[in-house]
């Protein structure tokens, strides 16, 4: 405990005292977060922070962005700037069975021509991948994974995470790109959900969602309050000279051989020495028996770990061997994730209710005796639709197996018929909506029954308001389920346009709404007025129009007026819009009620940059159609398409005379042949990237 003490305030000159306090705080953070061995009491630590903040306030010349006081969060930003990763952030292939792990080891051995391989094993953290770039020992830029090629600049938020060093000790490489996972510890997750519930705000499904939400806050102070943490699992890429310099610079960790060969386990060791938390659960093992042994051991400890993991990761330890193995598509050949099976548990069905969705879809939901599975207590599980209830033959009173994996809604896997009690009752689809008493209809040939009440139905109204406020729609932070319920129930809000008439005084009259939350919500509602056309179109909740279609519509029509004026024929000219989607859009805008809501929203001040689509329309690939075929070295098919679209181009599925370029990777077949036949230029992934970067291609 004494080691970190900066001593008493005494009469050191302010600059020295500030330096001593910063050093002590940095060491305490390191001990707490990286070593998991707290060295000072919270009260002492808080005292240092207060003293440091006071000194910095009195001596502005001593302030520094690297000071621990800045971790409480700098100024809020409007949006996250894109960051192009220096080396792409890749994904991992998955193995689910022992056989698949054996096959992985066999492929590795055969490719390397060796009889046994040493592997580094780590937990597969269930958080969010980030890249942390250090320049001259200082944390310079931090970004999310994004599409693997381009992520979002979340530096200000990452700076608030105490487990992330802001400065590296002397001897660190001049440039270092650390890759790792931002996590929320289970105990912090539970604390957060308790506070959210107390404030009547939305609770999070799992720590990963909470961490993701925390990292993408526009206000870093909110990120700071979420108490995220971090684990490093590597550097930019094994074949990157910086990755080696991290291993090499650690002579103590590596020994003379590290210089020549270099090992992933040494990179981690070196990162730990530089102050990054790395998995304490890491091990190196030999051969497939070693891998499976690690998997079993960690699986047994899974429930007692302080954070969620969804499997383990195996990496060939020798960096030279990693380089020799290389990459396929967007994943390394030298590593694989061995996933844990989705957790299952047994419980009883206490009832089968129906839920009414945004579009009136009626979903039968099993009400369960509470059961802990996949890290949360489950009390409901979806039964999808009536046919599914029959197929699985789920009855009220049955004992059932439920499953929950990742973000997926818990579901009933199967019934245990041998445990069915005598009085088990079958589910009957109600004839009327439980919310608004309108008739429920199930059209011929469709699996989904629907409430016919439309926006008369409060359940549909609530669901469409929540959709409207959603993060990917108008992004009104703080407008959660409980609030929407109250606002609709007291009759204050009927349509999304009514949201823009709310004021803080009215809101603070609601249950569990503090003045401050009311003011924050009004701010969030006001901020949401400035949006993009694609978000707005998505927010309207037109049936069949998801985010991707909304984007295409915004891009194609460029203005709401043109979109609203389009008939079904004009709509089918939009990529991916078929007759069903076109008719759904056209009937939405034909409905006078919907037109009135749109008009009111615009009257309330909802706006977006003119010609949202125009910036893209002017991109380097504007007006060009490209076709991607085969396996590209680093980009997946979807990533390549996204890249093309981000530059204003169109990604099509088949080659014609109108195709500007065919982007071909390994094992390209018929489309490549067709391109050659038609004389369409063929380029590779690098060629695509040059085009997107605006470079001319011959």
Confirm whether 600 is a catalytic residue. no
CB of 348 to ligand IVH, least distance (A): 35
Between 39 and 181, CB nearer to ligand IVH? 181
Joined together, the tokens standing for residue 179 give 């890759």
CB of 298 to ligand IVH, least distance (A): 11
Nearest to 215 by CA among 277, 89, 129, 306: 129
Q: How far apart are CA 314 and CA 118, in angstroms?
A: 10
Interface residue with ligand IVH among 64, 77, 91, 346 (CB under 6 A) is 91
Between 22 and 179, CB nearer to ligand IVH? 179
Distance of CA 616 to the CA centre of its chain: 25
CB of 293 to ligand IVH, least distance (A): 18
Say whether residue 129 binds ligand IVH (CB under 6 A): yes
Between 83 and 313, CB nearer to ligand IVH? 313
Interface residue with ligand IVH among 22, 26, 30, 145 (CB under 6 A) is 145
CB of 376 to ligand IVH, least distance (A): 20
CB atoms < 10 A from the CB of 8, how many? 7
**31, 73 in Cβ contact below 8 A?**
no
Between 30 and 145, CB nearer to ligand IVH? 145
Binding segment for ligand IVH (CB under 6 A), chosen from 117-125, 352-360, 414-422, 582-590, is 117-125
Q: Which SS3 state, helix, strand or coil, does residue 669 take?
A: coil
Say whether residue 124 binds ligand IVH (CB under 6 A): yes
Residues 6+ apart with CB under 8 A from 154: 80, 130, 142, 143, 144, 215, 216
CB of 164 to ligand IVH, least distance (A): 15
Q: At what angle do helices 264-273 and 251-260 cross, to 10 degrees?
A: 150
Site string for ligand IVH, 375-404 (x = CB under 6 A): ------------------------------
Q: Which residue is nearest to ligand IVH (CB)?
A: 129
Q: How far apart are CA 37 and CA 138, in angstroms?
A: 24
CB of 122 to ligand IVH, least distance (A): 4
Residues 6+ apart with CB under 8 A from 167: 26, 66, 137, 138, 139
Size of the site for ligand IVH (CB under 6 A): 15
Between 128 and 574, CB nearer to ligand IVH? 128
Q: Could you tell me if residue 421 is left (phi over 0), alpha (psi between -120 and 50 degrees) or otherwise beta?
A: beta
Q: Could you tell me if residue 255 is left (phi over 0), alpha (psi between -120 and 50 degrees) or otherwise beta?
A: left
CB of 339 to ligand IVH, least distance (A): 10
With the C-alpha atoms ordered 296, 301, 305, 308, is the resulting torsion angle positive or negative?
positive
Say whether residue 154 binds ligand IVH (CB under 6 A): no
Binding segment for ligand IVH (CB under 6 A), chosen from 124-132, 182-190, 437-445, 476-484, is 124-132
Say whether residue 233 binds ligand IVH (CB under 6 A): yes
Q: How far apart are CA 588 and CA 599, in angstroms?
A: 14
Site string for ligand IVH, 331-370 (x = CB under 6 A): -x--x-x---------------------------------
Between 315 and 392, CB nearer to ligand IVH? 315
- Cα-based angle 14, 16, 20 (whole degrees, multiple of 5): 115
Q: Kind of pairing, strands 361-373 and 343-356?
A: antiparallel
Say whether residue 571 binds ligand IVH (CB under 6 A): no
Say whether residue 371 binds ligand IVH (CB under 6 A): no
CB atoms < 10 A from the CB of 58, how many? 9
Joined together, the tokens standing for residue 143 give 């970004």
Locate tokens 């107390």: which residue? 198
Between 45 and 276, CB nearer to ligand IVH? 276
Say whether residue 313 binds ligand IVH (CB under 6 A): yes
Q: What is the DSSP string of 613-646?
A: THHHHTSTTTT-EEEEESB-SS--HHHHHHHHHH
Say whether residue 317 binds ligand IVH (CB under 6 A): no
Binding segment for ligand IVH (CB under 6 A), chosen from 24-32, 119-127, 372-380, 592-600, is 119-127
Q: At what angle do helices 592-603 and 579-590 cross, to 10 degrees?
A: 70
Say whether residue 181 binds ligand IVH (CB under 6 A): yes
**H runs (alpha helix) in 226-337:** 241-249, 251-260, 264-273, 287-301, 319-325
Interface residue with ligand IVH among 40, 92, 621, 643 (CB under 6 A) is 92
CB of 327 to ligand IVH, least distance (A): 8
CB of 487 to ligand IVH, least distance (A): 38
**302, 374 in Cβ contact below 8 A?**
no
CB atoms < 10 A from the CB of 597, how many? 19
CB of 219 to ligand IVH, least distance (A): 25
Between 332 and 453, CB nearer to ligand IVH? 332
Quick one: CA torsion of 146, 80, 463, 530, rounded to 10 degrees? -140
Binding segment for ligand IVH (CB under 6 A), chosen from 123-131, 408-416, 478-486, 595-603, is 123-131
Q: How far apart are CA 232 and CA 224, in angstroms?
A: 19
CB of 202 to ligand IVH, least distance (A): 25
Say whether residue 234 binds ligand IVH (CB under 6 A): yes
Binding segment for ligand IVH (CB under 6 A), chosen from 20-28, 87-95, 297-305, 617-625, is 87-95
Q: How far apart are CA 360 and CA 462, in angstroms?
A: 11
Q: Where are the beta strands (DSSP E) in 396-543?
A: 399-404, 411-415, 440-441, 449-451
Between 238 and 566, CB nearer to ligand IVH? 238
Choosing from 124, 392, 462, 641, which is the catalytic residue? 124
Joined together, the tokens standing for residue 69 give 């006081």
Between 240 and 393, CB nearer to ligand IVH? 240
Say whether residue 122 binds ligand IVH (CB under 6 A): yes
Binding segment for ligand IVH (CB under 6 A), chosen from 84-92, 168-176, 373-381, 682-690, is 84-92
- Cα-based angle 438, 442, 443 (whole degrees, multiple of 5): 120
Q: Which residues bind ligand IVH (CB under 6 A)?
A: 90-92, 122, 124-125, 129, 145, 181, 233-234, 313, 332, 335, 337
Residues with catalytic roles: 124
């Amino acid at each position: 405990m004494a080691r970190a003490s900066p001593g008493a305030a005494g009469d050191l000159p302010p600059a020295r005292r500030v330096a001593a306090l910063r050093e002590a705080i940095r060491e305490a953070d390191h001990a707490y977060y990286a070593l998991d061995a707290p060295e000072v009491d919270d009260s002492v630590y808080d005292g240092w922070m207060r003293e440091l903040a006071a000194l910095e306030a009195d001596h502005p010349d001593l302030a520094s962005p690297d000071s621990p006081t800045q971790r409480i969060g700098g100024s809020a930003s409007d949006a996250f700037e894109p960051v192009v990763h220096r080396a792409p952030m890749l994904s991992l292939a998955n193995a689910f069975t022992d056989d698949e792990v054996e096959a992985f080891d066999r492929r590795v051995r055969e490719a390397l021509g060796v009889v046994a391989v040493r592997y580094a094993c780590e937990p597969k953290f269930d958080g969010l991948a980030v890249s942390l770039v250090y320049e001259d020992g200082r944390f310079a830029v931090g970004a999310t994974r994004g599409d693997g090629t381009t992520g979002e600049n979340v530096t200000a938020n990452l700076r608030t995470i105490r487990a992330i060093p802001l400065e590296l000790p002397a001897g660190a490489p001049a440039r270092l790109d650390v890759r790792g996972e931002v996590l929320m510890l289970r105990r912090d997750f539970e604390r957060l959900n308790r506070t959210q519930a107390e404030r009547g705000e939305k609770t999070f499904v799992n720590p990963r969602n909470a961490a993701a939400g925390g990292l993408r806050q526009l206000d870093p102070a909110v990120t700071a309050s979420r108490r995220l943490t971090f684990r490093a699992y590597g550097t930019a890429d094994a074949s990157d000279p910086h990755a080696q310099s991290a291993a090499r610079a650690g002579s103590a960790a590596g020994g003379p051989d590290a210089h020549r060969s270099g090992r992933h386990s040494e990179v981690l060791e070196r990162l730990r020495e530089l102050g990054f938390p790395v998995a304490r659960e890491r091990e190196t093992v030999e051969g497939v028996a070693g891998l499976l042994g690690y998997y079993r051991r960690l699986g047994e400890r899974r429930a007692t770990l302080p954070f969620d993991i969804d499997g383990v990761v195996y990496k060939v330890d020798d960096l030279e061997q990693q380089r020799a193995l290389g990459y396929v598509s967007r994943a390394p050949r030298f590593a694989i994730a061995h996933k844990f099976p989705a957790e299952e548990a047994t419980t009883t069905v206490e009832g089968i209710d129906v839920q009414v969705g945004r579009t009136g879809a009626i979903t039968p939901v099993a009400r369960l005796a509470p059961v802990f599975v996949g890290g949360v207590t489950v009390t409901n599980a979806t039964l999808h639709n009536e046919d599914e209830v029959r197929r699985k033959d789920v009855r009220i009173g049955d004992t059932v197996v439920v499953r929950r994996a990742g973000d997926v809604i818990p579901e009933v896997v199967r019934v245990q018929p041998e445990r069915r009690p005598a009085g088990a009752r079958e589910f009957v689809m109600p004839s009327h909506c439980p919310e608004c008493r309108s008739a429920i209809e199930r059209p011929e040939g469709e699996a989904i029954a629907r409430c016919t009440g439309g926006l008369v139905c409060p359940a549909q109204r609530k669901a469409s308001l929540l959709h409207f406020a959603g993060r990917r729609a108008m992004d009104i932070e703080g407008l959660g389920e409980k609030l929407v319920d109250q606002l609709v129930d007291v009759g204050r809000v009927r349509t999304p346009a009514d949201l823009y008439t709310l004021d803080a005084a009215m809101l603070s009259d609601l249950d569990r709404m503090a003045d401050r939350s009311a003011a924050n919500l009004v701010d969030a509602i006001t901020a949401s007025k400035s949006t993009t056309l694609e978000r707005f179109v998505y927010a309207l909740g037109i049936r069949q129009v998801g985010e991707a279609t909304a984007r295409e519509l915004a891009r194609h029509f460029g203005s709401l007026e043109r979109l609203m004026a389009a008939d079904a024929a004009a709509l089918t000219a939009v990529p991916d819009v078929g007759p069903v989607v076109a008719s759904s859009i056209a009937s939405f805008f034909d409905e006078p009620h919907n037109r009135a809501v749109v008009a009111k929203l615009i009257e309330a001040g909802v706006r977006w940059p003119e010609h949202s689509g125009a910036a893209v329309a002017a991109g380097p690939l504007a007006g060009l159609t490209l076709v991607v075929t085969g396996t590209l070295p680093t980009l997946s098919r979807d990533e390549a398409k996204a890249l093309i679209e981000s530059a204003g181009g169109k990604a099509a599925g088949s080659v014609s005379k109108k195709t500007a370029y065919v982007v071909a990777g390994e094992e390209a077949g018929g489309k490549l042949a067709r391109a050659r036949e038609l004389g369409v230029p063929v380029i590779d992934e690098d060629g695509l990237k040059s085009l997107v970067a605006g470079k001319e291609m011959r």
